[in-house]
Amino acid sequence: MPKGKDLLDLTLGIVTSVGGFLEIGSIATSAQAGALFGYQLLWAVALGGLCLVFLVEMAGRFAAVTRHTIPDAMRERFGWQMFVIPLVGLAAVGVLVLAAELGGAAAALELGTGIDRRLWILPVTFLGWLLLWRGTFAVIEKGVSLLALVSVCFLVAATVIHPPLGGLAAGLVPRAPDHQHARYWFLAVAILGASISPFLYLFYSAGAVEDHWNRSKLGANRVIAGSGMSFGTVLAGAVVVVAALALRGVDVQHDRQLRELLVPAFGRAGVPLLLVSLGIACFGAALEVALGLAYLVAQGLGWNWGEDLRPREDARFCLVYTIALVVGAIPVLAGANILALTNVSMALTAATLPLSIVPFLILMNDRRMMGTNRNGPVGNTVVVGIIALAVVLALVTIPLEVAGG
Instruction: Kindly tell me the sign of the dihedral angle through the C-alpha atoms of 50, 52, 56, 58.
Output: positive
> Is 4 buried (19+), middle (13-18) or exposed (0-12) by CB count in 10 A?
exposed
* Whether pLDDT at 306 is above 50: yes
The domain ranges of the chain are 4-404
CA distances from 206 to 244, 296, 366 (A): 37, 9, 19
**pLDDT by residue (tens digit) across 96-114?**
999 999 999 999 999 999 9
Using pLDDT thresholds of 50, 70 and 90, give the confidence band for residue 201: confident
Angle (CA) 187-110-114 rounded to 5° is 135
- Cβ-contact 234, 155 below 8 angstroms: yes
| DSSP structural state of residue 197 | -
Give pTM, 2 decimals: 0.86
Residue 308 contacts residue 210 (beta carbons within 8 Å): yes
Dihedral (Cα; 59, 60, 65, 70), 10-degree rounding: 30
Q: What is the mean pLDDT of residues 180-209?
A: 82
Name which CATH class applies to 4-404.
Answer: mainly alpha
More confident residue, 208 or 106: 106
First to last CA, the chain: 49
